[in-house]
Structure formats: C-alpha cells, structure tokens
Structure 1
Amino acid sequence: MTRAAIYVRISRDREGGGLGVARQEHDCRELAARHGLAVAQVYSDNDLSAYSGKPRPSYRRMLDDIAAARIDAVMAWHTDRLHRSPTELEEYISACEPRGVPTYTVKAGPLDLSTPSGRMGARQLGAVARYEVEHQVERQQRAKQQAAADGRWGGGRRPYGYESDGLTLRPEEARAIAEVTDAILSGTSLRGQAAEMNARGLVTSTGRPWTANELRKVLLRPRNAGLREHRGEVVGPAAWPPLVDEDRWRALVSVLTHPGRRTQWSSARRWLLSGLALCGVCGAPVRATLAAAGSRSVESYTCKVGKCVSRNAAELDTYIGSVVVERLSRPDVAELLASPDGPDSGALQLDAAALRERLAGLATAYADGAIDVRQLREDSERLRTRLTELEQKMATAGRGDALAGLIGVADPAKAWEGLDLHRRRAVVDTLMTVTIHRTQKGRPRGWTPGSSYFDPSTIDAAWKG
C-alpha cells in the first residue's frame, strides 16, 4: 500500500493546545482514506510561520524521508502549509520529482509534480501565496506606522508598567520604574536595583527575574516618558500615561548611555575608592590590586602610574565611611545640598525642551517645503549636538541627588550601611576628593600593640564646594 505522509503547520497557536494542527490532521486523514492511502507518518510544525525564516524541523525531516523513499505521497491541508518561498518550492519539487511522489491537498486539490504542467500549477499557487503574504506584511507595517504617528500602541508583549492593553498603568510596576529611575539618577547601580526588585518579588512582564541588562532595556524605553517610538526613532507623544516625566527620562538615558559608565563600574566592583582616590605624589587615580603585606597579600589601593603609594583597601574604605557618616551627622548637613555655582537643573530642562520644540519645528518646515534637505540636516545636527550637551549637564546636575535620603536622617551610620557600593561611590564623589599620601617607615605615631598600622593622618579627605 502507498505510504502517505501528512504535513500540518499553523503560524500562531493562539489556543496553545495545537488544536489548529489537530484539525488539519483530521481533514488530511479523511482525504487519505478517500484516496486509499495508508498514513505512515505525521509531520507537525506547530506555531511556526512558513514565512518567518525560522527552521521547520519536521518539514526538513519529511523531505529527508521522501528522498530516502520512506514516503510515497504527501497530504497537506493547503499548499501554503508546505512552502514559504519559490526557492523552497523548488527544493520540494526536486525531492518529489525523481520518484513521482504526488501531493494531495484538502483545499487546493492534487499536485502532480512529475509533469511540467503540474509543476507550473504548483509554481503559480506558490507565487499567489507569496504575494498574499507580502501584501499582508505591507499592510501590517503601514498600520504600525500609522499607529506610531497617532501615538497608539502597536501591540505585542505586555510592556512592563502597563496592563495588556498597553495603555492602563499597572500601579506597582509603574511605581517601581519611577523609583528605579530616581535611584539610578542618584548614583545607584543597575545591578543593585535589579537585585532589589527581585528581593521585593517583582518580576519582568514575562515572569522572569530581573537582570541588570533587562532592567536597562526597560529604563531606556521612550514609552516610559509617554513617547511613541517607531523603528528606533521617537515620533511624538503617545496615548498612554508616562511613568516618569520626559526630562528625568532623558537625563537617565544620558547616564545609562554614557561611554564611561561600564568602565567606571567594572573598576569599582568591590572597592569604594578605586578610580576615585588620588595619589598624593603624582596625582594619578589609584586602583585596587593585591599587594604584599609581610608574608601575605592583601587588597590594597595602589597608584596606577608609578606605584607611588599603597594602602590597605578595606581599612581605608572603613575610614572614609566613618568620615562621611561624621559629616552627615553635623548640624549644618543641609548645606551640602546648596550648590550656588552648579548648573540650574530647572533652567537646563527648559532649555532642553525648547531645543526639542525647535527640532520638531524643523521637520514641519521641511514637510511644508520651507527648508531644503541640506538645511534640515545641518540644523538638525547642530540642535542635536546642543541637546546632547544639555542632557549631559542635566545628568551631572542630578548627581546631587546622590545625597537623597541621607540629609537629616536620625541615624546616618545606618543609612550609609544601607547603601549599595555604587551609591556609596556616588556619595563620596559628590562630597569629597580623597588623596593618599606616603607614609613613614615603621609604626605610625600613637601605635599600640594589637592595633592596625593604618595612619589616618596620611589621608586627605577634602570637601567639595
């Protein structure tokens, strides 16, 4: 008896139970029975589009079985279940033609690929199917473009911070994004914030634990500021409410995309002052390295250039922490927030908003024919350069936020201990410049048996501002 194969496929299994392919298989089995064929094998690629470019393992296995003469006929619901491109159709013809393997379909009838007329008919059906798919893709792309222009959501996976409609806020998630935005602007790390969200039981919109990289992607979304994006470009205001205001979002983008951010974090992964403290001899930054201390090696801060100075890293970190806590405990601690010589954050935000309006006006002027493409390009580049500079200044101005939650607290020591390493570094960098001077040989003055050789008099913590 002729051995028949049934091939079934559905692009999107919305019901999640393979019911679409099950219906196709049922119809194909009835067709096989009418032709007196015995079904030897069923090949199923569920939830895989024929035009997605993704491999179809069952389809490939069926072609191999046809070539190996394990299959004598193919049953399918329609030819568009089998082929996704003219190239793939030709491959299918090459597999079936040598042995005259026929194809029977429920909706398009039989295909005899052993004759020129049969192959021509198959190619015509394939061309029509390809056109219909490409036309559908074109309509979908145009619909997404129009949705972007109108500020509407284009659909897809539920965006974090919003319900499945993409428009309604999910309060707990929305608060989390706003809090993390402020925390990052205050100097905390992505890694620390991801860990904190996991500790709070918050997960991504797909139900997975947070990673620093995943959190960064979410924080960089224009959606967070109530902006609509299309193909990587912000095209205007959106229909959904923002999670943070636009200026805070743009300042955050400037911080997260700053070229030096990754390097600064990697050099400060374990120690407070690596890259921050300076050598008192040559002025170069120090780094944490293993250094000899008698018969053992300890983590020490060492001058990057000439190795002019070296100091026990753990002891110096503890000392600087105590200096910070002492400063935060003074009655005049509120004066730390005053920065008369610093940039006015509010004025910077207004200037940035004005530049963005001028950029939008350029696009309108070009569309109206008031300026040509050369003028559009030159003026846009000039304004974007100025806008980038302003955003960097806003990010710098926001570093004062590193002290948020530390001014006027009842227990500064407890507040300091509660900060992650990245935030502590931001506080130190905001408050002081630490310089490590050379020590004299031998024990420091005032040393007592059993005490450390660490000498605070060789450390200069100069307050900024």
Structure 2
Amino acid sequence: MGIYVRISKDRKGQELGIQRQEKACRELCERMGWGVLKVYPENDTSASTTSKRRRPTYTEMLRDAREGLIDGIVVYSIDRLTRRIAELTHFLEEQKEHGFAFATTEGEDTATANGRMILTIKGAVAQQETERMSERVNNSLLQRREQGKPHAGGSRLFGFKEGSNLQEVEPGEVELIRLGYQILLDRGTPGDVARAWNERGARTPEAGTAWDIQKVKRVYRSERIGGIVSYKGQDIGDSVYPHPLTREEWENVQTILDSRATPARKGAGKRKHLYSGFLKCGHCGSTMRIQWATIQGRTFRRTACHSSQVGANGERGCGKVIRRLDWIEARINEVVEAALAKRRPQAQAAPSEDLSGEIKILEERIRALRNRWKDGGMEDEDYFDSLTHLRSDLQTLRTREAASVVRETRTETDALAVWKDEDMQNLERRRAIVASVIDHVEVFSVGRGRKKPPELDSIRIWPVGAKPDGSKG
C-alpha cells in the first residue's frame, strides 16, 4: 500500500500535520493487515480550487498505482486527497480502471455505488468549504481596500520606506519622483528623468542599479505612486497613507506616457540612427534599412532597400536602392532646421472645459453607492456592476482633465536647441522633433560609380500633412 499525506499550510516547516496523518494511516494499515511500501508526503501544499500549484507527489502516487507498484492508497480523509470535485471524480475513475484499493481512516467505501456517492458528496462539501473560505478572504481584502489600505506585497517600491507596507514614504525619493514629474510636464522624456536621478546618485530599490527609461516608466506606471487603491483591476479609492503624487498628478503622467507610446514594428529594437523608419524606397515604398558598411577599407553609413522588408504594395522590397547616408542626412537636416527656425512660441490656449463639477458629482455618487452596499442595501453583483460603470465614466473625465492640465502646465521648449544636441542620449527627443516636421523621405537610385554629388531630386522629402500631389493638407 501507499500512504498519501498532505497539509495546506506549514508555516514553521516542522511537518507535524503530515506526521499525525501518517501515524493514523499506518494504524489503519496495521489493523487491516496491509503492508506499507511507500509514503507520499506533500507538505505545505494546497489542493483547493483556488490553488495553481502543481502536486508532483500526488501525480507520482497515481502513476505508481496505475503501473501496479502499489496495490492501494490510504489517506487520512477525503479532503487530504483533494478539495476539487472534478479531481476526485477523475481519481475514482482511475481507481475503477486500474483496480487499486482505496481507504481513508474515516471508513469510506468505494466498492459500492452508495459508498462512491457518499465519497463524492464529502468531496463536494470539501470544495464548498474551500470556496467559502476564499470568499471570506476576498471580502476581507476588499474591505481593507475600501478603507484605503493598499496591498503591500512584493519588493520595495521606489518612494516608500523598506518594510513600511506602503504606509511611510522615503522623503529623498519622493523629492526625486516629484522632480521627474516636473521634467515630464516640461516636455522632458523618461530618459531625461533617468539621467537626473542617476546624476543625483539614486539607484533602483531592487538591485541597486542605475536608472534607465523602462525602470523610470515602471515607477510612474505604478498606481501606488498616486495613492490609488485597486482590487482585482478595479479602482476602489484613494490610499489613507502618504504617497509621492496625488491622483491627479499620477493621471497627468499617464497621459504624458501614453502620448509618447508608439507601437514598435516587428523585431524593432532600440533606435541607433536618427532617420531610421523615415526613409522609404522610391521604387517600391518599403522602409529602408540604415547600416554601417566597410568597402575598400573605408567605413561609412548607408541606407538600403532590403528584400526582407514589405513594401507599400504588400510585396517584398525591390533591393534597387542603396545609397550613402551622409548626403541624404545633410539635406534632411537642412529642412528640419529651416522648419524649426520658423517656429514661434504660441500662446497657451485656455482650457476649453472645466470638468471639476462633473468629477465631484461622480465621486459623490460612488461614495453614496459604497455606503449603501456596506449597509447591506445592495447585492454584491449589483454593487460591482454599478461601480464599474461609474468608475469608467469617472476615469474618462479624469483623463480629459489630465490632458488639459498637461497642456496648460507645459513650458515652451526651445526645439532648435534640443535638435542641435547630438548626444545619443538625446536621440529619442530629436526623432520626436523630426516626426513633427517630416512624414517620410523617398530615396531613389543614382546609379553606380557616380563621383559628383547626387541631384537634389534624388530624394523627395514629404512634410507632415502633405498630400500626394505635394500640397499641404
């Protein structure tokens, strides 16, 4: 016989629970005259419907029973075997097919239909108890969230003190977060924030490494930075503890980050060249690659139409155009600088709408709805359905309000000065400036062996908003 013993929680790791189960199972085997070949222990392992952990020992035991290594299985009680009715049904089918014995210290009999029915009923009761326990835990968690107490698990979040469970902020880090917030409002980038933090000696809380763009984004994307408490993806309310940014400031940051987010093409990595993605083959319309090449000992950059690229007509690149990049780049630079020189700072437009009244009304409705639910005046299903709709409307208004705030608070930046800063760390901002001036550039072949500079019409620069006939839209 094989003995299977399991306990869901063993915080001290002393295995006292499974030892008690094994003792009771051995006493049963001794009374029945059964020999024990192997014990299958599974300590600190849940078998409930909510658990996603695998049970390798349980799987091993079933395999041994199928292969005849053990001729029966003994458990302390049915809920030690499983708390899932579907898993119990599968176990009974396996037992019937392979003919191994099964017994519990509580005396269940699987040899008759009535015995199997009683066992199934007990399994259903065990599953129900697990689900009720899960509901109680979830309701307790929801109540904490409703009280403004966020979940405090995981590694330390930048801006909060170690071991404070998100209840205390780190003043120095809060100062950096607010500095980064102002940089983003002033048309800065996450890269600018990373440089500012690194220059001040700040390091990431997880590994103590330098900041980069993605790590900065993760900080500002965290709802906890704005004191937002959520439960199962739903915005529940505001934290009662201090937090680096207000909800409104956090939503302003989301608007800024969302406005900068552009879908990357398949296989795209970090850009290394200013005009990557802007150059199109004049023959087939596919996006041209920019690469370094070495010919006869000379190393230079060139752009080429490649057969792996898909053209405007849905076909592969023609491969007919290969050009040195320096002359093309110089011509495009002239166009961009001329466009920037014509720009004049524009007066900031007054906000078109004041949404504070509508937001206040929705917030009051949510508070009234929550109080009614807490007092037992609403069913859970009706409450969460109504809360979802109200929260969605509120989020829409707050997003519009955040966009307005971002427009009002951003200061005018000298785009020409940013453009002339050719540091690689500034590449992202320079590409954004290019995208505000140029839609794309068509590049045509100039033939082989040409010594004189190419003709001006060997490239065609399409400004933003230009129509196919060359006029402005």
Q: What's the TM-score bracket when you normalise by the shorter of the two chains?
A: 0.5 to 0.7
Q: What is residue 17 of structure 2 aligned with on the other side?
A: 24
Are residues 1:425 and 2:426 paired?
Answer: no
Distance 1:354 1:264, change over 3 A: farther
2:144 is aligned with 1:143: no
Q: Work out the CA distance in 2 between the residues paired with 1:86 and 1:208.
A: 49
Q: Which amino acid aligns with 1:233?
A: Q
Q: 1:119 and 1:46 mapped to 2: Cα distance?
A: 27
What is residue 101 of structure 1 aligned with on the other side?
101
Q: For the structure 1 residues 395 and 433, does the alpha-carbon distance in structure 2 shift closer, same or farther, using more than 3 Å as the test?
A: farther
Determine helix, strand or coil for the equivalent of 1:43. Answer: strand
Change in CA separation of 1:71 and 1:381 when aligned onto 2, cut-off 3 Å: closer
Q: TM-score, normalised by structure 2?
A: 0.63
The separation in 2 between residues aligned to 1:160 and 1:317, in whole angstroms, is 46
Q: Secondary structure at the match of 1:243?
A: coil
Q: Which residue of 2 aligns with 1:114?
A: 111
Give aligned pairs, total: 409
- Provide the residue aligned with 1:202 in structure 2: 204
Report if aligned partners of 2:109, 2:115 keep a CA contact under 8 Å in 1: yes
What is the TM-score normalised by the length of structure 1?
0.64
Which residue is equivalent to 1:448? none
1:250-289 matched pairs, under 5 angstroms: 250-258=251-259, 261-263=262-264, 269-274=271-276, 289=289
Q: How does 1:227-306 map to 2 (within 5 A)?
A: 227-258=228-259, 261-263=262-264, 269-274=271-276, 289-290=289-290, 298-300=301-303
Q: Which residue of 2 aligns with 1:133?
A: 130
Residues 160 and 268 (structure 1), Cα distance of their counterparts in 2 relative to 1, 3 Å cut: closer
> Alpha carbon RMSD of aligned pairs, Å?
5.7
Distance 1:144 1:298 in 2: 59
Name the residue aligned to 2:360: 357
- Within the candidate set 23, 40, 52, 1:43 is matched to 40
Q: Is the 8 A contact 1:271 1:313 kept in 2?
A: no
Structure 1 pair 270/32, CA: closer, same or farther in 2 (3 Å)? same
CA distance in 1, matches of 2:182, 2:189: 9
Aligned counterparts of 1:87 and 1:368: Cα–Cα separation in 2: 39
C-alpha deviation, 1:313, in angstroms: 5.8
Match of 2:380 in 1: none
Q: Quick check: 175-184 or 141-150, which moved more?
A: 175-184
Q: Which amino acid aligns with 2:271?
A: R
**Aligned equivalent of 1:332:** none
Instruction: Using the TM superposition, give the Cα deviation of residue 459 of structure 1 relative to its aligned residue in structure 2, in angstroms.
Output: 10
Determine the C-alpha separation between the residues in 1 that align with 2:461 and 2:113. Answer: 90
Which amino acid counterpart does residue 242 of structure 2 have in structure 1? P
* Structure 2 Cα separation of the partners of residues 354 and 277 of structure 1: 48
Q: Which residue of 1 aligns with 2:377?
A: none
**Who is 1:88 aligned against?**
87
1:341 to 323, 338, 347: 347
SS in 2 for 1:55: coil
Alignment partner, residue 312 of structure 1: 325
Q: Name which of structure 1's ranges 184-193 and 85-94 shifts more when overlaid on structure 2.
A: 184-193
2:402 equivalent to 1:391? yes
CA shift digits 1:207-233 (9 cap, x unpaired): 999997776555323221112222323
Match of 2:168 in 1: 168
Contact 2:280/2:288 (8 A) holds in 1: no
Distance 1:26 1:292, change over 3 A: closer
Residues 1:292 and 1:64: Cα distance change in structure 2 (over 3 Å): closer
- Residues 1:9 and 1:438: Cα distance change in structure 2 (over 3 Å): closer
- Aligned 8 A contact 1:32 1:75 in 2: yes
How many Å separate the matches in 2 of 1:291 and 1:32?
Answer: 72
Q: Which amino acid aligns with 2:273?
A: W
In structure 2, the CA distance between the partners of 1:288 and 1:182, relative to structure 1 (3 Å rule), is farther
Could you tell me how far apart the structure 1 residues matched to 2:265 and 2:410 are?
A: 15
1:8 to 6, 30, 50: 6
**Percent of aligned pairs with the same residue?**
21
How far 1:202 sits from its partner (Å)? 1.9
- How has the CA–CA distance of structure 1 residues 378 and 423 changed in structure 2, closer, same or farther, with 3 Å as cutoff? same
- Amino acid in the other structure paired with 1:74: I
Does the CA contact (< 8 Å) of 1:153 and 1:166 recur in 2? Answer: yes
Partner of 1:449: none
Please give the alpha-carbon distance, in whole angstroms, between the structure 1 residues aligned to 2:272 and 2:363: 45
